[in-house]
């Protein structure tokens, strides 16, 4: 079986599925096969594992009942059919890779499994999607040098990038209990706000609510307490990626973040997309880790030949739908776009650095990449950057503008991979709507 980073027959762009919608342009062709957890809407069924294929969900519990596979693929299917993906994640790369190959073969045009389609498929429109894994710990990195520089320039024009940035994958520990799957809305958070001048702080609802365009990376096989994960083994401990929006209260953040970093400004809501795209599906979209000439090389534990092709060219977008747009029947507008290929650190480097002090990582732990911004102004991954700290309102059309988010705003993250000669694969969406603050 090919290693985790290699392409194989499952990526063949000529492959077609017996699921008709998988052969049309879209996020979930046969070459993708992302994992999630679902049940039928309006039922009290148990949640179970599923795979997105076209506009359908392949019910892995129903498939497992038919015992179609043997060996590692059968073991992987039994784990994937459970109410969360933690067991599959914790089993490491081999069962997942075997299951992916077996599913690819079973879903191809002409495969015998097509005869059982009616009892194995659920339309995505009729599916309720849950968190794909029980997240025990959440760590959010700061991996985009363009975002770090742009934000630093707002507050430190003469010294925007702190000296440790190019050496250390900077991160902070978030709040796992506040992670929600796409579609779960949340109220505007409260916190301490500091008025200008000498006035004392007040408790109130944030007036500078922002989104952050990120990817989430799920840990697969965990690590041993006290033992670091070498960079050459890091991808064996990664399961796959999702879209992630780490909502931020910028006015709360400005007052509280010194000296220990984010707290209430970040722990009230984090939205993730429901489908997890595996590293195997992303293999055709690997690219070289890009750094300008003259930049310092990473320390040896964060460097190696396997990591120099460890970046992924994943296109990311932010869309905004305001309450006014919904009432008028107008579509959402795209605010920005960027690529994960511009990240200063790879997912493998983030995991290795996380473990270098002996920190135990567990299956289902979630690593956020931090806001993914590109070098151009239209590639900014947050309103803080797009509006230059709220000083330059963003025009939305029909008289609407934004500096920060208002009640009723729905933010939609989308992501996907494009490359000539390869089928497009996507992540679906991660979206949520900002509700009014709850009464004090």
Supply the residues annotated as catalytic: 147
Residue partners of 403: CB distance under 8 A and separation at least 6: 208, 383, 387, 390, 391, 392, 393, 394
Q: Which two tokens stand for residue 278?
A: 């595996």
Helix axes 71-80, 93-107, angle to 10 degrees: 90
The length of the chain is: 440
Helical residues (DSSP H) of 91-245, grouped into ranges: 93-107, 117-120, 145-155
Pair type for strands 286-287 and 311-312: antiparallel
- Burial label for 239, CB within 10 Å (0-12, 13-18, 19+), is buried
HEC string for 365-424: CEEECCCCCCCCHHHCCCHHHHCCCCCCCEEEECCEEECCCCCCCEEEEEEEEEECCEEE
The H or E element spanning position 326 is helix 323-328
Q: How far apart are CA 362 and CA 229, in angstroms?
A: 12
Quick one: tokens of 4? Answer: 């985790």
**Alpha-carbon distance 252 to 189, whole Å?**
10
DSSP notation for 238-304? EEEEEEEEE-EEHHHHHHH-TTT--STTTSS-EEE-S-BEETTTTGGGEEPPP--TTPPPPPGGG--
Longest pairwise C-alpha distance within the chain: 74
Whole-number Å distance between alpha carbons of 371 and 47? 31
């Amino acid at each position: 079986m090919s290693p985790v980073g290699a392409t194989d027959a499952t990526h063949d762009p000529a492959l077609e599925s017996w699921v008709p919608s998988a052969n049309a342009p879209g996020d979930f062709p046969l070459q993708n096969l992302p994992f999630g957890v679902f049940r039928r809407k309006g039922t009290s069924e148990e949640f179970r594992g599923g795979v997105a294929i076209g506009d359908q969900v392949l019910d892995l519990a129903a498939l497992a009942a038919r015992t179609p596979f043997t060996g590692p693929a059968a073991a992987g299917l039994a784990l994937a059919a459970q109410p969360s993906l933690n067991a599959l994640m914790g089993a490491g790369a081999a069962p997942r890779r075997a299951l992916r190959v077996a599913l690819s073969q079973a879903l191809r045009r002409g495969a015998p499994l097509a005869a059982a389609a009616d009892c194995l498929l659920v339309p995505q429109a009729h599916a309720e999607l849950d968190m794909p894994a029980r997240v025990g710990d959440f760590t959010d990195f700061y991996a985009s040098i363009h975002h770090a520089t742009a934000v630093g320039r707002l507050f430190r024009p003469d010294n925007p990038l702190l000296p440790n940035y190019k050496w250390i994958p900077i991160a902070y520990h978030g709040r796992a209990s506040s992670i929600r799957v796409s579609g779960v809305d949340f109220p505007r958070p409260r916190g301490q706000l500091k008025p200008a001048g000498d006035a004392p702080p007040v408790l109130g609802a944030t007036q500078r609510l922002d989104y952050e365009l990120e990817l989430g990376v799920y840990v697969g096989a965990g690590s041993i307490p006290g033992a670091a994960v070498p960079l050459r083994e890091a991808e064996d401990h990664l399961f796959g990626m999702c879209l992630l929006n780490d909502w931020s209260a910028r006015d709360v953040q400005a007052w509280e973040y010194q000296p220990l970093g984010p707290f209430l400004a970040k722990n009230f809501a984090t939205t993730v997309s429901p489908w997890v795209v595996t590293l195997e599906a992303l293999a055709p979209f690997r690219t070289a880790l890009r750094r300008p000439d003259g930049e310092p090389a990473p320390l040896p534990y964060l460097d190696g030949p396997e990591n120099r092709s460890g970046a992924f060219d994943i296109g990311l977008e932010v869309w905004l739908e305001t309450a006014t747009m919904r009432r008028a029947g107008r579509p959402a507008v795209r605010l920005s776009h960027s690529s994960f290929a511009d990240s200063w650190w790879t997912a493998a480097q983030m995991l290795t650095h996380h473990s270098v002090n002996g920190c135990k990582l567990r299956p289902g732990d979630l690593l956020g990449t931090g806001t993914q911004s590109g070098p151009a102004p239209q590639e900014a991954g947050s309103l803080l950057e797009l509006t230059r700290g709220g000083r330059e309102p963003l025009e939305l059309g029909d008289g609407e503008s934004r500096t920060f988010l208002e009640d009723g705003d729905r933010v939609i993250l989308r992501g996907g991979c494009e490359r000539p000669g390869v089928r497009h694969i996507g992540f679906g969406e991660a979206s949520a709507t900002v509700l009014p603050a709850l009464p004090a």
